[in-house]
Amino acid sequence: HPGLLVLTGPTGVGKSATLRCLAKELDCDISEWIVPPQDDWNTVSRQWDMP
């Protein structure tokens, strides 16, 4: 059964570890979107002519 879960919170509280354990128990796949640090975003935005 497809679904979407958005999980936010401070660094180091166990969000990823909790989701990995839960996904393993439920036999689900995880897709993770990681926002790049500002320096990386500047590099990406220059490559794609983004403001």
- What would the pLDDT profile of 1-51 be if each residue is shown by its tens digit? 467 778 888 989 999 899 999 999 989 888 877 766 666 666 666 666 655
17-31 pLDDT, tens per residue? Answer: 999 999 999 898 888
Number of domains in the chain: 1
Cβ distance 12 to 4 under 8 Å? no
Q: Among candidates 40, 41, 34, which has minimal Cα distance to 7? A: 34
Range of the domain at 8: 1-51
How many other C-beta atoms lie within 10 A of the C-beta of residue 12?
A: 7
Cβ distance 32 to 16 under 8 Å? yes
Cβ distance 35 to 27 under 8 Å? no
State if pTM tops 0.85. Answer: no
What is the spatial distance between Cα 32 and Cα 6, in angstroms, rounded to a whole number?
Answer: 10
